[in-house]
Structure 1
Amino acid sequence: MYNFLISGAIALVAIVVIILAAGTSSWWWAILVGLTLFGGSFLLISRVVMKKVLALMESASRDIQAQRVEKAIRDLKEGLRYSRWQIYVEGQINAQIGIIYYLKRDFSGAFPYLEKAFNKNWVAMAMLAITYMKRNKRDKMKETFEKAVQWSPKESLLWSVYAYCWTECEDIGQAREVLERGLKKIPGDDKLTANLEALKEGKKMKMKNYGEMWLQFHLERQSVVMKQQAAAMGMKRRFVRK
């Protein structure tokens, strides 16, 4: 990682210069100055790199909104060069690329990027877990969801998607256990409570309450999604007429 190497080189040069100028008796002072310079230069370079990465992601977001999806993906892929400078950048950019491919329903294209996604990006991790589920890799699905809830324990939708995937695997016991764990992390969450009660009553989980955030995972049948979207458009039209 260039950032670490450059900061380390600056610190090392400072230590050597101080010792040569003031003698070996000043080694403790030299180390203190070196550590200070290392921390300062590392922080400065990190801020510069992250500023460029954030600008890249904002530009990609605008391209997606303008239906320039391929340009957004291309620019994000070029942004992977910043991973040589800063830790976690590669995972963050891969997460964004994977999400874009997934939203396009290009699941095979999304998979290699989602595999390298940043663990704190719970949307990307959930999409990866769903992909494992669809490939009949339940152990990998569970492992991925567990990483996601470990890093993002306060995300209600994440817990519900995790549970929903267990219902798709016809394991209602695991689904209920996941929802119960979610309620321990988010006490009183209405959506988690409603889904847990539904499973206890032998009913299906109520995922449409999460709105478009739920639909992005493509777990609903296309016919259901189209009906929901049509209903939403009808509500908007009635609202405009009033």
Structure 2
Amino acid sequence: MYNILISAASGVALFLLLLFAVKLPWWASFLLGLVVFTVAFILISRVIMKKVMVSIETAGRDLQAQPPRFEKAVRELKEALQYGKWQIYVEGQVNSQIGMIYYMKRDFSNAFPYLEKSFFKNWAAMGMLAICYMKRQKKDKMISTFEKAVQWNGKESLLWGLYAYCLNECGDVSKAKDVLAKGLKKLPGNGPLKDNLDCLEQGKKMKMRNYGDMWFQFHLESLGALQKHQMAAMGGRMQRRTVARR
């Protein structure tokens, strides 16, 4: 990464200058060189991340437009990939955003290669990647992806529920129960996790719609169910507006 190289070069240059030209003790030269490395790294990181955030925020406005400007948002994010050479994890974060946009458009073939390069702390992108593996009959890959996701995002109730749901869909009910139990250890008393564990123990279907819009973005419901949900949401908004006018 350019940032690390530039910062390290700055620190080493100062270390050598102080050690051989100024004749400071090696430990003092090292400490001052380390300070320069740290300051340079932080300053460059801030500049790079500011540029990346501008691209992400612009893409966000494109997605919120009516109708959403999906392709423009993707182009904006792809331009931000150039900063991946400068800062660690930037490429993964941007790829996560691009993959999620394609996935939510149901363009799964284009989403997959970007989701494969997702940032491990973006639990939604990791969840979408795991679902792609499930649909490609790669259960082991699905499990390893979910395991990595919950390792870094253990406080996300929907992630645990999604993991269990996919295992249940693969016919592994016992493993699904274990996952929900682990989720409850991380999130004691969590309602949706507890309800879904009760459902599986009673041989019933999991109740994932309790998670609302966040659940529907994973496209594990039929198109008909999604359309009904959207119509119900629109009806609720219209009813609230009518009440507000009165």
Q: Same fold (TM over 0.5)?
A: yes
Query: Corresponding residue for 1:22?
Result: 22
Which amino acid in structure 1 is aligned with residue 19 of structure 2? I
Please give the secondary structure, in 2, of the residue aligned with 1:111. helix
Cα offset, 1:235, TM superposition: 2.5
Query: Corresponding residue for 1:110?
Result: 111
Q: Structure 1: 5+ residue runs without aligned partners? A: none
Rounded to whole Å, the distance in 2 between the matches of 1:152 and 1:217 is 17
1:196 aligns with 2:192: no
* RMSD between aligned residues: 1.1
Cα offset, 1:224, TM superposition: 1.1
Rounded to whole Å, the distance in 1 between the matches of 2:64 and 2:237 is 20
Which amino acid in structure 2 is aligned with residue 194 of structure 1? D
Please give the secondary structure, in 1, of the residue aligned with 2:25. helix
Query: Corresponding residue for 1:60?
Result: 59
Rounded to whole Å, the distance in 1 between the matches of 2:2 and 2:15 is 20
1:35 aligns with 2:34: yes
Which amino acid in structure 2 is aligned with residue 26 of structure 1? P
Query: Corresponding residue for 1:221?
Result: 222
Cα offset, 1:236, TM superposition: 2.5
| TM-score w.r.t. length of structure 2 | 0.95
Q: Structure 2: 5+ residue runs without aligned partners? A: none
Please give the secondary structure, in 2, of the residue aligned with 1:231. helix
Query: Corresponding residue for 1:162?
Result: 163
Query: Corresponding residue for 1:138?
Result: 139
Rounded to whole Å, the distance in 2 between the matches of 1:199 and 1:166 is 12
Cα offset, 1:62, TM superposition: 0.6
Residues 29/138 of structure 1: CA separation in 2 closer, same or farther (3 Å cut): same
Query: Corresponding residue for 2:12?
Result: 12
Cα offset, 1:59, TM superposition: 0.9
Rounded to whole Å, the distance in 2 between the matches of 1:51 and 1:167 is 42
Please give the secondary structure, in 1, of the residue aligned with 2:92. helix
Which amino acid in structure 2 is aligned with residue 48 of structure 1? V
Cα offset, 1:60, TM superposition: 0.8
Which amino acid in structure 2 is aligned with residue 19 of structure 1? L
Rounded to whole Å, the distance in 2 between the matches of 1:63 and 1:173 is 43
Which amino acid in structure 1 is aligned with residue 90 of structure 2? V
Cα offset, 1:163, TM superposition: 0.7
Cα offset, 1:184, TM superposition: 0.6
Q: Encode CA deviations 1:109-130: one digit per residue, 9 max, x unaligned.
A: 0001100000000000000000
Query: Corresponding residue for 2:235?
Result: 234
Rounded to whole Å, the distance in 1 between the matches of 2:236 and 2:36 is 60
The percent identity for this pair of structures is 59
Rounded to whole Å, the distance in 2 between the matches of 1:14 and 1:235 is 64
Please give the secondary structure, in 2, of the residue aligned with 1:119. coil
When the two structures are aligned, how many residues end up with a matched partner? 241
Rounded to whole Å, the distance in 1 between the matches of 2:58 and 2:143 is 34
Rounded to whole Å, the distance in 1 between the matches of 2:242 and 2:18 is 76
Rounded to whole Å, the distance in 2 between the matches of 1:175 and 1:28 is 55
| TM-score w.r.t. length of structure 1 | 0.96
Cα offset, 1:233, TM superposition: 2.2
Rounded to whole Å, the distance in 2 between the matches of 1:159 and 1:11 is 44
Rounded to whole Å, the distance in 2 between the matches of 1:151 and 1:94 is 18
